[in-house]
Amino acid sequence: MSKLGFIGLGIMGKPMAGHLIKGGHTLYLYSRSGVPETLTKEGGIACASIKEVAEKAEIIITMVPDTPDVEKVIFGKDGLSEGLGKGKTVIDMSTISPDETKVFASRLQKLGCDYVDAPVSGGEGGAIAASLTIMVGADEAVFNKIKPILELMGKKVTLIGGNGAGQTCKLANNIISALNIEAAAEGLIFASKAGLDPVVVLEALLGGSAYSRCLENHGERMIKRNFAPGFRIELHQKDLNLALESARKMGVSLPNTALTQQLFNASAALDGAKKDNSYIIAALEALANHKVGK
C-alpha cells in the first residue's frame, strides 16, 4: 500500500479520497475549507499545510477548480514544490489549461518528480460510485505505476498521450457534453411549448436516436427543476473558455461551443452560476417565454 496525499476535498474530491482510504492506502489530506471529519474517521490524516502533504506522501493528488489554483497548490508558498523530494509523483485531476499543464510538468520534472494530468468525467455521481472516466496524460511507465490508484476512483482509465493530452481530451469531452445539454434543453422547450408533456416526451426520446446520458440525466433535472449542482455552470464556463482559447491558438473554429458558452453566460446572469449546468435551460426558456416542467 502507498502513502498518498489528496488536496482539494470538495464535491468531487471528498468521495474520491474516501475510495483511496477504503483501498487500504495511507492518505494525507489538506483542503482550504478544512478536512471533513468523515474522512479522518475513516483513517485519513489531516495535515496543516500543502507542504506537509508533499513531505509525507509519495504520490499526491490535486483536485481543485482552475489553473491558477493548481499553480498555487504546486508552486505557491508552503506548496507542494517546497515539500517534494526526488521520485515523487503529482497527479492533477482538476480540469485546467493543457498548455499550462505542460509547463507545470516541465517544472516538476526539473525537481526530479513525475507529473500526471488525469482529469475526470462523471460528475458527483461518478465520484461517489467510483465510476469516473479518467483521461490521462503521462509517460507510459508512470501511467503503469499509478493506474491501480486511479482505478480505485474510476471505471475507465485511459492513457491518452503525454503531459497535456489528458487535459485536451477532457476539454473535448466538455465541449460535447455542453452541446448535448443545450440540445436537450432546446428539444424539451420545443415539445413543451407545443403542448406536449415533457415527462412523456423524455421517456420516448430515451428510446430513440436522440438518446444520450446528458439527455437522460439533465433532461430529468430540467423537468423536475432540480438544479442543485452536480457540475456548476461556472465550472463549465471555465472549461469552455479553456477550449475556445486552445482552439484560437490552433486556428480551429468551434461555433456551437461559442454559442453554448454565451447561453451559459446568460444562465449565470440569471443567478445560475453556482447551479447545475442543466440550468442552461433558463436562458432558452427566457428566449421562448415558456418554462418546462413544474
> Taking Cα atoms as reference points, which of 32, 34, 13 lies closest to residue 93?
13
Q: Which helix (H) or strand (E) holds 3?
A: strand 3-7
Measured CA to CA in angstroms, residue 187 lies from 127, 159, 198, 250 at distances of 29, 35, 10, 32
Annotated active-site residue 170? The verdict is yes
Residue count of the chain? 294
> Taking Cα atoms as reference points, which of 139, 125, 85 lies closest to residue 108?
85
Measured CA to CA in angstroms, residue 193 lies from 137, 186, 187, 284, 292 at distances of 45, 11, 10, 12, 8
User: How far is residue 75's CA from residue 45's CA, in Å, rounded to a whole number?
Assistant: 23
**Catalytic residue (choose from 170, 238, 249, 291):** 170
User: How far is residue 2's CA from residue 16's CA, in Å, rounded to a whole number?
Assistant: 16
Residues noted as catalytic:
170
